[in-house]
């Protein structure tokens, strides 16, 4: 799922980005990430562990909350669905895929998403949803995936007892050799379940005689032969059952049932001696196996049919004793499960496993516990595995919540520190805000604006001079004023002339620089305006922040309290769910063991009944024997007080 | 013990049939993950036979007589319901835990790195033929803020297109300087250390900077840039 979702996402991203680059075809194509935060999510997603998947999903949701994925919305939503699926939350994944897998999404990505969702739903037992998801697949996928899709659809139909439809799907199935054996097997079983044994035979026989290079294909081959053999037995054709049953490996997982079936085939044909061969071999195996248990009765049954009543009685007695002992062991196992030991044993081996949330986890090793030997079938079964996954998930979530609960103290400290920091800064901030500094600056700026406009309007060249020039101009004006009041004299006239000259020179200098200086002052006023605007906007922000301080801290404190409540509530729900799951798993396990006990009890009754019947018959035969007895030799002087009869020859 | 006429052969055929029926019921699907041997169902015994057994064996047999064939069929349906109900409940719990994770992450970041003062430094790697990244060190305004050592898994994630949020912190408004040092293996597998720096202006609002390690085919050397995402 992950590899194809990765490729699908990257193909999607590459398709939408203008500057995607292509590299070595064996490497994934690079893409152009349009949001840095989306790239951060991908960074965790690509690390491909359960923990980083959870981190990726957490960050994806958080960044979306802050609106930091504006250029990657569709991709992010698809990734979100994929992450929920990876973490086993197929409900939420399904909802997202429903909304995001529109025609705008490339068909390949859409189909793959539905296919993998269908796989998860199938594994979880939601056959109707699995079928619905598979039917949303548009067109044909790659040959390999298409073959898997059709097989999965057929499986889902068969699980819903819709064998006719499954047969139709499988009859038209075309796919790689890897999957063809499964297709033929499933078709054969569907035909058998539809009471078409004759049509099923070629398919099951084909699988039953195929080359089997791997353990998986060898097991499939055995299974096909077993299914065909038992189908013939049930149809009352024991002669045709032998051949497929003989093809089952003696050291395979189905050999016990095959041996039992072969014995029944021989028995049905009247060859009880022949039936004893597989049954005696079976009887030597572990009594855990139900087929072996049945052989404990089948062997004396065959002896009885051959009139070997002594052997039959002996084997019946042995069966009763063995069943008694096994019953006691079953009681012990049930007691251990009811004490709660089973799940602890099962999960203790998985504590260090990386995967905690993911749906792909499976129990791989059985615990070394007494009850394991009885629960092999149950523990290896899909339903129990799914239940175990749930239990494991609950335990993992409990750990997560514990850590979060510890973190709440840190958040409270952060808020307290923040409040203290604000408390230190607030007096300074208040003093500054109350000083009206910005308004004063604004007023000064307005005054400067007006002054400059007046200078410009009146062409006051001296106003823009340097300090020295202005001082000189001032002196000139003072001298001018003084000379104006002075009497006319040749000296004063000369002074006036000289002053006019100096004034003229200074004026010329000032006027020459006036244009540039005016432009410079106007520019600086503009810069001042900008800076003042920035200051005003900061002032407003500071004012706003000051007003919001109690609200912000209050809001944070409120959020922390609310989160703490959610953690407490989740912890409670978690404990309840964990207990329910534990109880359910224990109940399922105990039920299985009770079923085994019932079966043993039934066999015991039958064995005892047969023994009773045999003893009854023997007693009757003994009683019906005529009175003619061989004469007891009389010995002189000796009296035989025992009156005992010679032992009968065993029958 | 009273004797009874008892069709042993019929009973024992039913034992085999019971195994067969249970087997075929479970041997439906092979495209599942490899299945383990199906357990045999208890043998099917007719009510008439059960009555005979009870009479023969006495009161003690009543508790041991197998249940009728219909009862086992009911149990799987109930089990499926329970499983599905629990599964739904656990789905809901998981979703709530994920939502809680998100809210805690949001709260932590808003408390520690408010948007107005936040600065985040990201790292991306392009291709990676000429440089194998080992570690990155960051300094902001002459002060070391992070020294990050990469695992092979993280490097792989970067090469696939991930962009790591290497550092997040707080800065005042105004000019600042970022200096990054990259350690790794360069061309010909030799130890390689390079640096890059950027002067940037922190305004009001979050600032994002990207460290980019790219291969320059023309030079057959890696290049290290810092990009300001205005």
DSSP string over B100-165: HHHHHHHHHHHHHS-TTTEEEEEEEEE--SS-EEEEEEEEETTEEEEEEE--HHHHHHHHTT-EEE
Any A CB within 8 A of B189 CB: no
pLDDT digit string (tens) for A125-158? 889 999 999 999 988 888 888 889 999 999 999 9
Contact B16 A294 (CB under 8 A): yes
Q: What's the pLDDT at A500?
A: 93
Q: What's the pLDDT at B37?
A: 28
Higher pLDDT, A312 or A387: A312
Specify whether the CB–CB gap between B69 and B44 falls below 8 A: yes
Averaged over A46-59, what is the pLDDT? Answer: 91
pLDDT band at residue A5 using 50, 70 and 90 as cut-offs: low
Assess whether pLDDT exceeds 60 at residue A108.
yes
Distance CA A582, CA A398 (A): 14
Q: Write out chain B residues lying below 8 Å of A23, CB-based.
A: 127
Chain B neighbours among A 574-633 (CB < 8 Å)?
Answer: 574, 577, 580-581, 584, 588, 591-592, 595-596, 598-599, 601-606, 608-610, 612-613, 615-617, 620
Tokens of A532: 């003042």
Assess whether pLDDT exceeds 80 at residue A269.
yes
Bridge partners of B125, per DSSP, are B213
Most A CBs within 10 Å: which of B2, B39, B61, B202, as the mutation test of the A interface?
B39
Q: What's the pLDDT at A350?
A: 55
Shortest Cα distance, chain B CAs vs residue A627, angstroms: 24
Higher pLDDT, A411 or B22: A411
Residues 6+ apart with CB under 8 A from A360: A86
Residues 6+ apart with CB under 8 A from A100: A74, A77, A78, A81
pLDDT digit string (tens) for A368-377? 666 667 777 6
Q: What's the pLDDT at A185?
A: 94
Assess whether pLDDT exceeds 60 at residue A529.
yes
Q: What's the pLDDT at B59?
A: 33
Least trusted range by pLDDT, from A133-147, A464-478, A496-510: A133-147
Fold of B118-229: Immunoglobulin-like (2.60.40)
Question: What's CA A304's distance to the chain center, in Å?
Answer: 57
Averaged over A561-580, what is the pLDDT? Answer: 91
State which residue of chain B sits closest to A610, comparing Cα positions.
B8
3-state secondary structure A504-543: HHHHHHHHHHHHHHHHHHHHHHHHHHHHHHHHHHHHHHHH
Q: Enumerate residue ranges in chain B where pLDDT < 70.
A: 1-82, 128, 230
State which residue of chain A sits closest to B87, comparing Cα positions.
A390
Any B CB within 8 A of A304 CB: yes
Averaged over A385-389, what is the pLDDT? Answer: 79
Angle at B118 between CA B113 and CA B123, to 5 degrees: 110
Chain A neighbours among B 195-214 (CB < 8 Å)?
Answer: 204, 208, 210
Distance CA B91, CA A296 (A): 46
Tell me how crowded residue A80 is: count the other CB atoms within 10 A of its CB: 20
Classified as helix, coil or strand, B197 is: strand
State which residue of chain B sits closest to A260, comparing Cα positions.
B16
Going A444 to A445 to A446 to A448, the CA torsion angle's sign is positive
Q: Which of A48, A233, A390 sits opposite B90 (nearest CB)?
A: A390
Q: What's the pLDDT at B15?
A: 40
Specify whether the CB–CB gap between A150 and A120 falls below 8 A: no
CB-side neighbour CA atoms (13 Å) of B177: 6
Contact A46 B229 (CB under 8 A): no
Higher pLDDT, B80 or A49: A49
Tokens of A33: 């990430």
Higher pLDDT, A639 or A534: A534
3-state secondary structure A35-55: CHHHHHHHHHHCCCCHHHHHH
Any A CB within 8 A of B74 CB: no
Q: What's the pLDDT at A29?
A: 37
pLDDT digit string (tens) for A187-219? 999 999 999 999 999 999 999 999 888 888 999
For tokens 């004396």, what's the residue? Answer: A300
Q: Which of B13, B31, B120 sits opposite A151 (nearest CB)?
A: B31
State which residue of chain B sits closest to A410, comparing Cα positions.
B108
Q: What's the pLDDT at A417?
A: 87
Assess whether pLDDT exceeds 70 at residue A12.
no
Q: What's the pLDDT at A634?
A: 54
Distance CA A490, CA B132 (A): 95
Distance CA A204, CA A189 (A): 8
Tokens of B50: 């059960």
Higher pLDDT, B18 or A242: A242
DSSP string over A624-636: HS-S--PPPPPBT
Return the domain boundaries, chain B.
8-68, 118-229
State which residue of chain A sits closest to B71, comparing Cα positions.
A595
For tokens 């964990």, what's the residue? Answer: A578
Q: CB-based burial of residue A45 (10 Å sphere; 0-12 exposed, 13-18 middle, 19+ buried)?
A: buried
Distance CA A132, CA A153 (A): 9
Q: What's the pLDDT at B38?
A: 33
Residues 6+ apart with CB under 8 A from A446: none
Give which of B174, B168, B165, B170 is closest to B210, Cα–Cα: B165
Q: What's the pLDDT at A65?
A: 95
Averaged over A557-561, what is the pLDDT? Answer: 90
Any A CB within 8 A of B174 CB: no
Contact A61 B99 (CB under 8 A): yes
pLDDT band at residue A366 using 50, 70 and 90 as cut-offs: low
Query: Could you give the ipTM of this predicted complex?
Result: 0.72
Tokens of A366: 């059985």
pLDDT band at residue A9 using 50, 70 and 90 as cut-offs: low
Specify whether the CB–CB gap between B135 and B92 falls below 8 A: no
Q: Which of A42, A301, A393 sits opposite B90 (nearest CB)?
A: A393
> Between the CA atoms of A440, A445, A450 and A451, what dihedral angle is there, to the nearest 10 degrees?
100
Tokens of A49: 């562990």
pLDDT digit string (tens) for A302-358? 999 999 989 999 999 999 999 999 999 889 888 888 887 766 766 665 554 544 445
Shortest Cα distance, chain B CAs vs residue A117, angstroms: 15
3-state secondary structure A464-514: HCCHHHHHHHHHHHHHHHHHHHCCCCHHHHHHHHHHHHHHHHHHHHHHHHH
Q: What's the pLDDT at A498?
A: 92
Most B CBs within 10 Å: which of A9, A40, A313, A316, as the mutation test of the B interface?
A40
Q: What's the pLDDT at A256?
A: 94
Assess whether pLDDT exceeds 70 at residue A593.
yes
pLDDT band at residue A102 using 50, 70 and 90 as cut-offs: confident
Contact B65 A216 (CB under 8 A): no
Any A CB within 8 A of B68 CB: no
Percent of all residues in chain A with a pLDDT value above 90, rounded to a whole number = 47
Shortest Cα distance, chain A CAs vs residue B18, angstroms: 10
Give which of A158, A178, A174 is closest to A166, Cα–Cα: A158
Averaged over A426-432, what is the pLDDT? Answer: 86
Q: Write out chain B residues lying below 8 Å of A155, CB-based.
A: 28-29, 31-32
State which residue of chain A sits closest to B40, comparing Cα positions.
A290
Assess whether pLDDT exceeds 90 at residue A275.
yes
Helix, strand counts (H, E) of chain A = 23, 0
Alpha-carbon separation of residue A412 from A416, A566, B168 (angstroms): 6, 16, 21
State which residue of chain A sits closest to B54, comparing Cα positions.
A605
Q: CB-based burial of residue A287 (10 Å sphere; 0-12 exposed, 13-18 middle, 19+ buried)?
A: middle
């Amino acid at each position: 799922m992950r590899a194809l979702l990765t490729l699908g996402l990257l193909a999607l991203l590459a398709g939408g980005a203008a500057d995607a680059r292509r590299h070595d075809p064996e490497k994934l194509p690079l893409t152009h990430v349009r949001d840095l935060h989306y790239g951060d999510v991908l960074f965790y997603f690509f690390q491909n562990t359960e923990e980083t998947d959870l981190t990726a999903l957490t960050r994806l949701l958080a960044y979306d909350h802050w609106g930091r994925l504006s250029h990657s919305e569709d991709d992010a939503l698809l990734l979100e669905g994929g992450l929920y699926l990876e973490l086993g939350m197929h409900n939420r994944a399904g909802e997202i895929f429903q909304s995001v897998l529109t025609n705008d999404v490339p068909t390949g990505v859409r189909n793959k998403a539905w296919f993998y969702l269908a796989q998860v739903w199938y594994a979880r037992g939601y056959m109707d949803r699995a079928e619905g998801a598979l039917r949303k697949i548009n067109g044909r996928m790659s040959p390999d995936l298409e073959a898997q899709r059709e097989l999965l659809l057929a499986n889902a139909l068969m699980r819903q007892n819709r064998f006719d439809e499954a047969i139709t799907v499988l009859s038209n199935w075309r796919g790689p050799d890897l999957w063809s054996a499964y297709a033929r097997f499933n078709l054969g079983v569907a035909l058998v379940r539809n009471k078409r044994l004759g049509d099923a035979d070629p398919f099951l026989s084909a699988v039953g005689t195929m080359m089997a290079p791997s353990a998986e294909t060898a097991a499939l081959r055995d299974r096909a032969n077993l299914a065909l053999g038992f189908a013939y037995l049930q149809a009352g054709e024991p002669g045709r059952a032998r051949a497929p049953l003989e093809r089952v490996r003696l050291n395979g997982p189905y050999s016990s049932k095959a041996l039992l079936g072969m014995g029944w085939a021989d028995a049905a044909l009247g060859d009880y001696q022949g039936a004893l061969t597989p049954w005696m071999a079976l009887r030597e195996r572990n009594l855990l196996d139900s087929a072996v248990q049945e052989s404990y009765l089948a062997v004396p049954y065959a002896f009885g049919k051959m009139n070997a009543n002594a052997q039959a009685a002996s084997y019946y007695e042995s069966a009763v004793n063995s069943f008694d002992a096994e019953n006691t062991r079953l009681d012990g196992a049930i007691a251990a499960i009811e004490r709660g030991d089973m799940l602890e044993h099962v999960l203790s081996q998985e504590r260090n496993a990386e995967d905690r949330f993911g749906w792909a986890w499976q129990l791989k090793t059985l615990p070394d516990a007494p009850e394991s030997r009885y629960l092999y079938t149950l523990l290896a079964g899909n339903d129990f595995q799914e239940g175990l996954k749930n239990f494991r998930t609950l335990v993992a979530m409990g750990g997560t919540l514990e850590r979060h609960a510890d973190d709440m103290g840190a958040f409270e400290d952060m808020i307290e520190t923040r409040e203290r920091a604000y408390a230190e800064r607030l007096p300074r901030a208040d003093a500054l805000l109350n000083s009206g500094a910005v308004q004063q600056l604004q007023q000064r700026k307005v005054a400067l604006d007006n002054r400059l406009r007046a200078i410009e309007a009146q062409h006051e060249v001296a106003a823009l001079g340097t300090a020295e020039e202005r001082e000189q101009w001032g002196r000139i004006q003072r001298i001018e004023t003084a000379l104006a009041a002075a009497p006319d004299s040749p000296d004063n006239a000369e002074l006036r002339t000289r002053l006019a000259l100096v004034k003229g020179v200074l004026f010329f200098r000032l006027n020459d620089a006036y244009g540039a200086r005016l432009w410079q002052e106007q520019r600086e006023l503009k810069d001042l305006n900008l800076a003042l605007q920035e200051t005003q906007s900061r002032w407003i922000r500071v004012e706003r922040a000051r007003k919001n301080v109690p609200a912000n801290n209050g809001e944070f404190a409120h959020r922390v309290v609310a989160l703490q409540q959610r953690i407490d509530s989740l912890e409670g729900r978690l404990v309840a769910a964990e207990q329910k799951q534990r109880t359910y798993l224990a109940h399922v396990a105990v039920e299985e063991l009770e079923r085994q006990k019932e079966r043993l009890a039934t066999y015991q009754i039958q064995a005892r009944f047969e023994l009773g019947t045999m003893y009854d018959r023997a007693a009757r035969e003994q009683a019906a024997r005529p009175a003619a007895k061989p004469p007891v030799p009389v010995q002189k002087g000796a009296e035989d007080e025992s009156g005992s009869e010679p032992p009968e020859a065993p029958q | 013990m009273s004797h009874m006429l008892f069709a042993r052969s019929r009973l024992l055929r039913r034992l085999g049939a019971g195994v067969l029926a249970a087997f075929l019921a479970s041997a439906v699907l092979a495209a599942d993950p490899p299945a383990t041997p199906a357990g045999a169902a208890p043998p099917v015994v007719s009510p008439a036979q059960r009555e005979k057994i009870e009479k023969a064996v006495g009161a003690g047999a009543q508790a041991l007589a197998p249940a009728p064939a219909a009862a086992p069929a009911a149990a799987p349906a109930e089990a499926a319901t329970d499983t599905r109900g629990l599964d739904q409940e656990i789905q809901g719990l998981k979703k709530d835990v994920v939502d809680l994770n998100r809210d805690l992450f949001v709260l932590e970041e808003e408390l520690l790195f408010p948007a107005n003062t936040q600065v985040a430094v990201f790292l991306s790697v392009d291709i990676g033929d000429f440089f194998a990244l080992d570690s990155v060190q960051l300094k902001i305004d002459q002060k070391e803020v992070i020294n990050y050592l990469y695992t092979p898994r993280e490097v792989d994630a970067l090469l696939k297109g991930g962009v790591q949020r290497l550092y997040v912190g707080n800065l005042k408004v105004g000019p600042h300087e970022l200096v990054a040092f990259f350690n790794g293996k360069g061309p010909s597998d030799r130890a390689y250390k390079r640096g890059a720096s950027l002067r940037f202006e922190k305004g009001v609002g979050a600032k994002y900077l990207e460290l980019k390690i790219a291969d320059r085919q023309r030079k057959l050397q890696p290049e290290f840039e810092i990009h300001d995402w205005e």
